[in-house]
Amino acid sequence: MRIAAYGFRRHSTYRAAAIAGAFTNTVFGILRAYVLIALWEARPGLAGYDIADAVTFCFLSQAFIGPMQVFGGGLEISERVRTGDVAIDLIRPASLQMWSLADDLGRAAYLFLLRSLPPTIVGAALFGLVVPIDPATWAFFLASFVLGVIVSFGWRYLIALSACWIIDDRGVQSLSLVMTFFFSGMVLPLNLFPGRLGTVAAALPWSAMVQVPADVYLGKRDVLEALGFQSAWAVALLLLGALVTRSARRKVVVQGG
Protein backbone atom coordinates (compact mmCIF):
# COMPACT_ATOMS: atom_id res chain seq x y z
CA MET A 1 0.00 0.00 0.00
CA ARG A 2 2.83 2.37 0.86
CA ILE A 3 4.59 1.40 -2.34
CA ALA A 4 1.42 2.07 -4.33
CA ALA A 5 1.21 5.52 -2.76
CA TYR A 6 4.82 6.04 -3.75
CA GLY A 7 4.03 5.01 -7.33
CA PHE A 8 1.15 7.48 -7.31
CA ARG A 9 3.43 10.29 -6.15
CA ARG A 10 6.26 9.34 -8.47
CA HIS A 11 3.94 9.66 -11.44
CA SER A 12 2.40 12.89 -10.24
CA THR A 13 5.69 14.56 -11.19
CA TYR A 14 4.75 13.94 -14.82
CA ARG A 15 1.57 15.96 -14.56
CA ALA A 16 2.08 18.03 -17.72
CA ALA A 17 2.75 14.88 -19.74
CA ALA A 18 -0.37 13.23 -18.31
CA ILE A 19 -2.55 16.22 -19.21
CA ALA A 20 -1.06 16.28 -22.71
CA GLY A 21 -1.78 12.56 -23.00
CA ALA A 22 -5.38 13.11 -21.93
CA PHE A 23 -5.73 15.77 -24.61
CA THR A 24 -4.40 13.47 -27.31
CA ASN A 25 -6.58 10.56 -26.10
CA THR A 26 -9.61 12.84 -26.27
CA VAL A 27 -8.86 13.98 -29.84
CA PHE A 28 -8.44 10.39 -30.98
CA GLY A 29 -11.60 9.40 -29.10
CA ILE A 30 -13.60 11.98 -31.06
CA LEU A 31 -12.15 10.90 -34.42
CA ARG A 32 -12.75 7.20 -33.75
CA ALA A 33 -16.25 7.86 -32.42
CA TYR A 34 -17.28 9.34 -35.77
CA VAL A 35 -16.00 6.30 -37.66
CA LEU A 36 -17.88 3.97 -35.33
CA ILE A 37 -21.05 6.08 -35.63
CA ALA A 38 -20.83 5.82 -39.44
CA LEU A 39 -20.43 2.07 -39.13
CA TRP A 40 -23.32 1.61 -36.71
CA GLU A 41 -25.59 3.92 -38.69
CA ALA A 42 -25.05 1.60 -41.65
CA ARG A 43 -25.49 -1.52 -39.51
CA PRO A 44 -27.63 -0.74 -36.43
CA GLY A 45 -27.31 -3.30 -33.65
CA LEU A 46 -24.07 -4.71 -35.02
CA ALA A 47 -22.30 -7.03 -32.55
CA GLY A 48 -25.02 -6.45 -29.98
CA TYR A 49 -24.15 -2.75 -29.54
CA ASP A 50 -26.30 0.23 -30.40
CA ILE A 51 -24.71 3.55 -31.41
CA ALA A 52 -24.51 4.83 -27.83
CA ASP A 53 -22.81 1.58 -26.74
CA ALA A 54 -20.28 1.86 -29.59
CA VAL A 55 -19.42 5.48 -28.79
CA THR A 56 -19.15 4.66 -25.08
CA PHE A 57 -16.86 1.76 -25.94
CA CYS A 58 -14.70 4.11 -28.00
CA PHE A 59 -14.22 6.66 -25.21
CA LEU A 60 -13.72 3.96 -22.57
CA SER A 61 -10.97 2.41 -24.68
CA GLN A 62 -9.27 5.82 -24.95
CA ALA A 63 -9.65 6.23 -21.19
CA PHE A 64 -7.92 2.87 -20.65
CA ILE A 65 -4.79 3.82 -22.64
CA GLY A 66 -3.16 5.54 -19.66
CA PRO A 67 -3.93 3.16 -16.78
CA MET A 68 -3.51 -0.02 -18.86
CA GLN A 69 -0.42 1.49 -20.52
CA VAL A 70 -1.60 0.21 -23.90
CA PHE A 71 1.47 1.61 -25.65
CA GLY A 72 3.78 -0.36 -23.33
CA GLY A 73 6.34 0.81 -20.81
CA GLY A 74 5.43 2.54 -17.56
CA LEU A 75 7.63 0.26 -15.49
CA GLU A 76 10.70 1.59 -13.73
CA ILE A 77 12.40 -1.80 -13.98
CA SER A 78 12.73 -1.76 -17.78
CA GLU A 79 15.17 1.13 -17.50
CA ARG A 80 16.93 -0.67 -14.65
CA VAL A 81 17.24 -3.83 -16.75
CA ARG A 82 18.85 -1.78 -19.52
CA THR A 83 21.38 -0.18 -17.18
CA GLY A 84 22.02 -3.42 -15.31
CA ASP A 85 20.86 -1.93 -12.01
CA VAL A 86 18.20 -4.64 -11.88
CA ALA A 87 20.88 -6.94 -10.44
CA ILE A 88 20.68 -4.94 -7.21
CA ASP A 89 16.87 -5.24 -7.17
CA LEU A 90 17.00 -8.98 -7.78
CA ILE A 91 19.18 -9.80 -4.80
CA ARG A 92 17.07 -7.73 -2.40
CA PRO A 93 15.01 -9.78 0.06
CA ALA A 94 11.70 -8.23 -1.08
CA SER A 95 9.91 -9.61 -4.15
CA LEU A 96 10.79 -7.49 -7.17
CA GLN A 97 7.58 -8.56 -8.88
CA MET A 98 5.23 -7.65 -6.04
CA TRP A 99 7.06 -4.41 -5.40
CA SER A 100 6.71 -3.45 -9.09
CA LEU A 101 3.04 -4.44 -9.09
CA ALA A 102 2.26 -2.18 -6.14
CA ASP A 103 4.16 0.67 -7.78
CA ASP A 104 2.28 0.07 -11.02
CA LEU A 105 -1.12 0.12 -9.29
CA GLY A 106 -0.21 3.53 -7.87
CA ARG A 107 0.73 4.69 -11.36
CA ALA A 108 -2.57 3.40 -12.76
CA ALA A 109 -4.55 5.17 -10.03
CA TYR A 110 -2.85 8.46 -10.85
CA LEU A 111 -3.33 8.09 -14.60
CA PHE A 112 -6.96 7.10 -14.04
CA LEU A 113 -7.58 10.52 -12.52
CA LEU A 114 -5.63 12.51 -15.11
CA ARG A 115 -5.95 10.52 -18.29
CA SER A 116 -9.19 8.55 -17.98
CA LEU A 117 -11.64 11.06 -16.60
CA PRO A 118 -11.05 13.94 -19.09
CA PRO A 119 -11.69 11.97 -22.33
CA THR A 120 -14.75 10.34 -20.76
CA ILE A 121 -16.19 13.66 -19.64
CA VAL A 122 -15.58 15.30 -23.02
CA GLY A 123 -17.05 12.28 -24.79
CA ALA A 124 -20.15 12.41 -22.59
CA ALA A 125 -20.56 16.14 -23.26
CA LEU A 126 -20.19 15.81 -27.05
CA PHE A 127 -21.90 12.53 -27.82
CA GLY A 128 -23.69 11.42 -24.64
CA LEU A 129 -22.35 8.19 -23.18
CA VAL A 130 -24.04 5.23 -21.56
CA VAL A 131 -23.98 5.55 -17.74
CA PRO A 132 -24.90 2.44 -15.75
CA ILE A 133 -27.56 3.08 -13.09
CA ASP A 134 -27.10 -0.10 -11.09
CA PRO A 135 -24.43 0.47 -8.39
CA ALA A 136 -23.52 -3.22 -8.68
CA THR A 137 -22.40 -2.60 -12.28
CA TRP A 138 -20.07 0.12 -11.04
CA ALA A 139 -18.63 -2.21 -8.40
CA PHE A 140 -18.09 -4.96 -10.99
CA PHE A 141 -16.56 -2.45 -13.40
CA LEU A 142 -14.13 -1.28 -10.72
CA ALA A 143 -13.07 -4.89 -10.05
CA SER A 144 -12.74 -5.57 -13.76
CA PHE A 145 -10.71 -2.39 -14.24
CA VAL A 146 -8.27 -3.33 -11.48
CA LEU A 147 -7.94 -6.85 -12.89
CA GLY A 148 -7.26 -5.30 -16.30
CA VAL A 149 -4.42 -3.26 -14.84
CA ILE A 150 -2.98 -6.39 -13.20
CA VAL A 151 -3.11 -8.34 -16.49
CA SER A 152 -1.49 -5.40 -18.24
CA PHE A 153 1.21 -5.30 -15.57
CA GLY A 154 1.79 -9.05 -15.83
CA TRP A 155 2.36 -8.73 -19.54
CA ARG A 156 4.59 -5.62 -19.40
CA TYR A 157 6.63 -7.14 -16.58
CA LEU A 158 7.45 -10.13 -18.80
CA ILE A 159 8.39 -7.82 -21.67
CA ALA A 160 10.61 -5.71 -19.40
CA LEU A 161 12.43 -8.73 -17.98
CA SER A 162 12.90 -10.22 -21.45
CA ALA A 163 15.62 -7.62 -21.93
CA CYS A 164 17.73 -9.65 -19.48
CA TRP A 165 18.16 -12.22 -22.25
CA ILE A 166 17.62 -10.23 -25.45
CA ILE A 167 20.21 -7.57 -26.09
CA ASP A 168 18.27 -5.30 -28.43
CA ASP A 169 14.74 -5.39 -27.05
CA ARG A 170 13.20 -2.87 -29.45
CA GLY A 171 11.87 -5.69 -31.62
CA VAL A 172 10.09 -7.28 -28.65
CA GLN A 173 8.74 -3.91 -27.59
CA SER A 174 7.20 -3.16 -30.96
CA LEU A 175 5.79 -6.68 -31.30
CA SER A 176 4.18 -6.27 -27.88
CA LEU A 177 2.75 -2.93 -28.95
CA VAL A 178 1.18 -4.44 -32.07
CA MET A 179 -0.39 -7.34 -30.17
CA THR A 180 -1.65 -5.18 -27.31
CA PHE A 181 -3.02 -2.49 -29.54
CA PHE A 182 -4.83 -4.75 -31.96
CA PHE A 183 -6.01 -7.56 -29.68
CA SER A 184 -7.09 -5.46 -26.70
CA GLY A 185 -9.95 -3.86 -28.64
CA MET A 186 -8.22 -0.50 -29.09
CA VAL A 187 -8.50 -0.43 -32.88
CA LEU A 188 -12.03 -1.78 -33.10
CA PRO A 189 -14.24 -3.70 -30.67
CA LEU A 190 -13.15 -7.34 -30.77
CA ASN A 191 -16.69 -8.58 -31.32
CA LEU A 192 -16.51 -7.04 -34.80
CA PHE A 193 -13.63 -9.34 -35.74
CA PRO A 194 -14.93 -11.94 -38.18
CA GLY A 195 -15.05 -15.69 -37.57
CA ARG A 196 -12.14 -17.48 -35.96
CA LEU A 197 -10.07 -14.29 -35.65
CA GLY A 198 -12.77 -12.97 -33.31
CA THR A 199 -12.82 -16.17 -31.23
CA VAL A 200 -9.04 -16.21 -30.86
CA ALA A 201 -8.85 -12.49 -30.08
CA ALA A 202 -11.45 -12.85 -27.31
CA ALA A 203 -9.46 -15.64 -25.65
CA LEU A 204 -6.08 -13.84 -25.63
CA PRO A 205 -4.88 -11.94 -22.54
CA TRP A 206 -4.98 -8.54 -24.22
CA SER A 207 -8.79 -8.59 -24.40
CA ALA A 208 -8.75 -8.49 -20.57
CA MET A 209 -7.26 -4.98 -20.75
CA VAL A 210 -9.86 -3.11 -22.83
CA GLN A 211 -12.63 -5.26 -24.28
CA VAL A 212 -13.66 -7.07 -21.09
CA PRO A 213 -13.78 -4.09 -18.69
CA ALA A 214 -15.67 -2.08 -21.31
CA ASP A 215 -18.20 -4.89 -21.75
CA VAL A 216 -18.64 -5.16 -17.99
CA TYR A 217 -19.33 -1.42 -17.89
CA LEU A 218 -21.85 -1.71 -20.72
CA GLY A 219 -23.45 -4.76 -19.11
CA LYS A 220 -22.83 -6.82 -22.26
CA ARG A 221 -21.21 -9.78 -20.62
CA ASP A 222 -21.83 -12.23 -17.81
CA VAL A 223 -19.99 -10.57 -14.93
CA LEU A 224 -18.70 -13.66 -13.15
CA GLU A 225 -17.46 -15.20 -16.39
CA ALA A 226 -15.72 -11.93 -17.31
CA LEU A 227 -14.02 -11.50 -13.93
CA GLY A 228 -13.05 -15.16 -13.94
CA PHE A 229 -11.48 -14.81 -17.37
CA GLN A 230 -9.47 -11.79 -16.25
CA SER A 231 -8.43 -13.43 -12.98
CA ALA A 232 -7.24 -16.53 -14.80
CA TRP A 233 -4.99 -14.49 -17.08
CA ALA A 234 -3.79 -12.33 -14.17
CA VAL A 235 -2.78 -15.41 -12.18
CA ALA A 236 -1.18 -17.09 -15.20
CA LEU A 237 0.89 -14.03 -16.15
CA LEU A 238 1.95 -13.35 -12.56
CA LEU A 239 3.03 -16.98 -12.09
CA LEU A 240 4.99 -16.85 -15.31
CA GLY A 241 6.51 -13.57 -14.15
CA ALA A 242 7.56 -15.18 -10.85
CA LEU A 243 9.28 -18.00 -12.74
CA VAL A 244 11.06 -15.55 -15.03
CA THR A 245 12.14 -13.48 -12.03
CA ARG A 246 13.61 -16.57 -10.44
CA SER A 247 15.64 -17.50 -13.50
CA ALA A 248 16.73 -13.89 -13.94
CA ARG A 249 18.01 -13.97 -10.37
CA ARG A 250 19.87 -17.20 -11.06
CA LYS A 251 21.38 -15.63 -14.16
CA VAL A 252 22.55 -12.60 -12.18
CA VAL A 253 23.99 -14.74 -9.37
CA VAL A 254 25.79 -17.13 -11.72
CA GLN A 255 27.01 -14.72 -14.36
CA GLY A 256 27.29 -11.62 -12.20
CA GLY A 257 24.90 -9.66 -14.42
Partner 1 sequence: MVRTYLLLAWTWLRASAQYPGPLIMMVIGSFIVSGLDVAAIWVIFEHVGSLGGFDLAEVMFLYGAAGLSFALSDILFGNVERLSQHIKAGTFDTMLIRPAGAFVQMATDRFSVQRLGRLAQAAVVLAIALPQLGLPAGRAWMIPVMILCGTVIFASIFTLGGAMQFLLTDAPEVANAFTYGGSALTQYPLSVYGNELVKGVTFIVPLAFVNWQPALFVLDRPDPLGLPYWLRFAAPLAAVVLSVAAALAWRAGIRRYRSTGS
**Interaction site with partner 1 (CB under 8 A):** 16-17, 19-21, 23-24, 27-28, 30-32, 34-35, 37-39, 42-43, 46, 168, 170-171, 174-175, 177-178, 181-182, 187-188, 192-194
Residue 127 CB, nearest distance to partner 1 (Å)?
10
Residue 178 CB, nearest distance to partner 1 (Å)?
6
Identify which of residues 39 and 232 has a Cβ nearer to partner 1 in the complex.
39
- Cα–Cα separations (whole angstroms), residue 62 to 58, 65, 69, 151, 225: 6, 5, 11, 18, 24
Identify which of residues 191 and 230 has a Cβ nearer to partner 1 in the complex.
191
Identify which of residues 126 and 143 has a Cβ nearer to partner 1 in the complex.
126
- Under a CB-based contact definition with an 8 Å cutoff, are residues 126 and 208 in contact? no
Identify which of residues 131 and 175 has a Cβ nearer to partner 1 in the complex.
175
Identify which of residues 36 and 234 has a Cβ nearer to partner 1 in the complex.
36
Identify which of residues 44 and 256 has a Cβ nearer to partner 1 in the complex.
44
Instruction: Please report which helix (H) or strand (E) contains residue 74, including its range.
Output: none
In whole angstroms, give the CA distance from residue 81 to residue 257.
Answer: 10
Sign (positive or negative) of CA dihedral 238, 242, 244, 249: positive
Instruction: Please choose, from the candidates 101, 200, 190, the residue with its C-alpha nearest in 3D space to the C-alpha of residue 147.
Output: 101
Identify which of residues 107 and 245 has a Cβ nearer to partner 1 in the complex.
107
Residue 30 CB, nearest distance to partner 1 (Å)?
8
Residue 234 CB, nearest distance to partner 1 (Å)?
26
In whole angstroms, give the CA distance from residue 228 to residue 238.
Answer: 15
Residue 113 CB, nearest distance to partner 1 (Å)?
17
Give the other-Cβ count within 10 Å of 198's Cβ.
15
Residue 233 CB, nearest distance to partner 1 (Å)?
22
What is the DSSP secondary structure assignment for residue 209, as one 8-state letter? T
b/e map 130-141, b = 16+ CB within 10 Å: beeeeeebeebb
Residue 21 CB, nearest distance to partner 1 (Å)?
5
Instruction: Please choose, from the candidates 141, 75, 78, the residue with its C-alpha nearest in 3D space to the C-alpha of residue 108.
Output: 75
